[in-house]
Amino acid sequence: QVQVVESGGASVQAGGSLRLSCVASGYTFKRKYMAWFRQAPGKEREGVSCIRWSGGSRYYADSVKGRFTISQDNAKNTVYLQMDSLKPEDTAMYYCAASTLDDIIWTQRQAYDYWGQGTQVTVSS
């Protein structure tokens, strides 16, 4: 059974930094992409960043480019999201997702097979 578990969410002031972690595990799990999505109250879940597990191509939403960095640790089956220069509008529940597909549109939720339960990020002004 595949498990996706996020951690690292917290409350911070604007301008601060956080690093989210996501561990995805499962005996037969063949991940191709790992991604971070977020959902603020009353809003749709949106793609934040994605990394291709083999090859390391990275993708970012325009709203976080230059502030967020996605990375991976293959040995630990972990993907990270380093979030710097945080803004109040970054406040949301952050979800980690994994896709086993070879070719996806990374911002599409239906491209992902497995999801975590989320970790809350709150940025105060």
Type of residue found at 93: M
State pLDDT tens for residues 4-14.
Answer: 999 999 999 99
- The average pLDDT across 12-17 equals 98
Q: Please tell me the distance from the alpha carbon of residue 37 to that of residue 35, in angstroms, as a whole number.
A: 7
In the 8-state DSSP scheme, what is residue 26? -
Q: pLDDT category, 66, cuts 50, 70, 90?
A: very high
Type of residue found at 106: W
Distance (Å) of CA 74 to CA 51, 91, 117 = 12, 28, 22
**What's the CA dihedral at 122, 17, 6, 121 to 10 degrees?**
10
pLDDT confidence of residue 115: 97
Q: pLDDT category, 28, cuts 50, 70, 90?
A: low
